[in-house]
Structure 1
């Protein structure tokens, strides 16, 4: 769909079961329409190195994959895939007569005040919430498909991508950022070289699974039962990872909120349900995965800051980069000191 068609759908179009005008939320890869009781998500016609939504056939396929994969964790939140049609210049969602121009994932609308990131910001996430979430994720990982073939140095290569941001961050953030990035990349290389046999052994032992891939607090509702959503459907490689890599993202996110207590609690409860850290080397690998996840958040925010609308917005986004770089550096120092 084009931006013009999206605007027509927003301002003049019709949606099944919903009467009022929807709210439109735009992400870098999707348009999301929030209606009265339902949500419709349309993928943008884009093509990146890691994602291809460039054809209507591809977008339909990945809509279907999104529903299929998210149903593993999200119960009845993900309903089906709806057609987006155009007739006489009108754009609408549903099965009425018209030319099919795209497809949309249809979901039940959840209470946005129950998103975990908002609850964390308001200090409303309890130990019980974390225990229930750990049990749900561990149960999900236990039954997830096991992956036996994987480039075990893939994480190391992705870690190095942050190096492309050094010059930009050195100019717009601070000179120390370049030093942190260089030291972190060197440590990452050395750590993975020392531990590639460990990672290979974990792959052989079945710890690599078809996971969620994007497990952080913004992608979890606490209703009060935990409901993770929005897993990665567009690239299997990003989702088929070591379970420690998966939970490291959430634990790093909790650390970033200043809640290391909840991070430690989650890890402890998860490991009780699904023992995945059995040795000191496993524990260090988990810390490495946390450094990798903070590395990725720093890179993503650095790229976002390049597209900022003004200096104030760029400064705000760069403060996020700085937070994640410092967190990454903290993890790397823990690996150095052990």
Structure 2
């Protein structure tokens, strides 16, 4: 039976809907999901969304990707991701969480993490310690080492960047960001001029299945080891990347928040513990590419967002493009 999303949301907003009987429920809407926070747990309901890069439009698809989210996130946060639970319809109208009846949707059930230990919060409060960054570097080094190395040749690796940069170029042009053209063209030129660097990364087995969305708000320094949540579950292709690229992405996001020194130090510590020191200009390419991509993704949301949020999206995108410009200039310094 097809139950409207607003009915599901209304049910999940009521504390009595949950088996642990919380005192209150807080709902957070993201681009692709609703997250319901109770006193101790979080319950994530995927939106019935469909885009060129994902399809959550059916109950079966949402069940599959909930299971993927559980499986993939247990790699870096095994005690946080608890289960996938059904939202069921009992009789003709009674909704039940993880109860008898027809399964009309599925949720990822998680333990809530202490917000005061999240990386973005520690940065904002100036409480981040170097030992924490080093512990994260070790966790990621072991994570990448445990994953299967991807058997890609250099051309295959470079072709994926080429396609993504061309997509960035088209989108930024269509949305009126003319400065994106020069950035993308410089990245394409670097990709060809330094093809040997990309080929060497692929040959050395540095292409791995990573997290895919390594941002400060996804890192928690809860003892005894750092945990990383909310990986990119809907596309294995986008999780396949150079481990140094993913480390650089976290550094970029730290800089975007205003903490460039923390990002720089994390990259240094990761290079030390992983014994992986790519050419500095290659890291600049990764940083420039990631910043340009983030700008494009923000701007693409304008088409589906209320006009009231357009200025904020454009300001955020402009900030990423500013960062991309700085890294592009460094990338071209050789």
- Work out whether the TM-score is over 0.5: yes
Spell out, residue by residue over 1:107-161, the C-alpha distance to the aligned partner (whole angstroms, 9 max, x if none).
1011223322222222222222212211211121111221113731212321232
Instruction: Give the aligned partner of residue 240 of structure 2.
Output: 240
Instruction: Give the aligned partner of residue 270 of structure 1.
Output: 270
Instruction: Give the aligned partner of residue 131 of structure 1.
Output: 134
Instruction: Give the aligned partner of residue 323 of structure 1.
Output: 319
Paired residues of 1:207 and 1:276 also in contact (CA < 8 A): no
The verdict on how the C-alpha distance between 1:2 and 1:290 changes in structure 2, with shifts beyond 3 A counting, is: farther
Spell out, residue by residue over 1:70-112, the C-alpha distance to the aligned partner (whole angstroms, 9 max, x if none).
1111130001111110123122211x22211111111101122
TM-score (norm 2): 0.90
Per the TM alignment, residue 10 of structure 1 is displaced from its structure 2 partner at its CA by 2.5
Instruction: Give the aligned partner of residue 206 of structure 2.
Output: 207
Paired residues of 1:84 and 1:93 also in contact (CA < 8 A): yes
1:304 corresponds, among 301, 304, 307, to 301
Paired residues of 1:131 and 1:265 also in contact (CA < 8 A): no
Q: 1:12-161, aligned counterparts within 5 Å?
A: 12=14, 14-87=17-90, 88-94=92-98, 96-149=99-152, 151-152=156-157, 153-161=159-167
Instruction: Give the aligned partner of residue 280 of structure 2.
Output: 283
Rounded Cα–Cα distance in structure 2 between residues aligned with 1:127 and 1:162: 35
Per the TM alignment, residue 269 of structure 1 is displaced from its structure 2 partner at its CA by 1.1
1:7 corresponds, among 9, 18, 22, to 9
The 3-state SS of whatever aligns with 2:194 is: helix
The verdict on how the C-alpha distance between 1:250 and 1:81 changes in structure 2, with shifts beyond 3 A counting, is: same
Paired residues of 1:10 and 1:21 also in contact (CA < 8 A): no
Per the TM alignment, residue 41 of structure 1 is displaced from its structure 2 partner at its CA by 1.0
Instruction: Give the aligned partner of residue 219 of structure 1.
Output: 218
Per the TM alignment, residue 255 of structure 1 is displaced from its structure 2 partner at its CA by 2.0
Paired residues of 1:306 and 1:314 also in contact (CA < 8 A): no
Rounded Cα–Cα distance in structure 2 between residues aligned with 1:236 and 1:167: 28
Spell out, residue by residue over 1:178-213, the C-alpha distance to the aligned partner (whole angstroms, 9 max, x if none).
1x2111111111111122333233223210011111
Rounded Cα–Cα distance in structure 1 between residues aligned with 2:125 and 2:331: 32
Rounded Cα–Cα distance in structure 2 between residues aligned with 1:22 and 1:163: 42
Rounded Cα–Cα distance in structure 1 between residues aligned with 2:175 and 2:55: 29
The verdict on how the C-alpha distance between 1:124 and 1:314 changes in structure 2, with shifts beyond 3 A counting, is: farther
Q: Does 1:198 align with 2:225?
A: no
The 3-state SS of whatever aligns with 2:17 is: coil
The verdict on how the C-alpha distance between 1:160 and 1:123 changes in structure 2, with shifts beyond 3 A counting, is: farther
Q: Does 1:163 align with 2:159?
A: no
Q: Which runs of 5+ in 2 are unaligned?
A: none
The verdict on how the C-alpha distance between 1:196 and 1:6 changes in structure 2, with shifts beyond 3 A counting, is: farther
Q: Which runs of 5+ in 1 are unaligned?
A: 171-176
Rounded Cα–Cα distance in structure 2 between residues aligned with 1:301 and 1:265: 27
Per the TM alignment, residue 305 of structure 1 is displaced from its structure 2 partner at its CA by 4.1
Paired residues of 1:308 and 1:314 also in contact (CA < 8 A): yes
Paired residues of 1:8 and 1:90 also in contact (CA < 8 A): no
Instruction: Quote the RMSD (CA, aligned, Å).
Output: 2.0
The 3-state SS of whatever aligns with 1:258 is: coil
The 3-state SS of whatever aligns with 1:266 is: helix
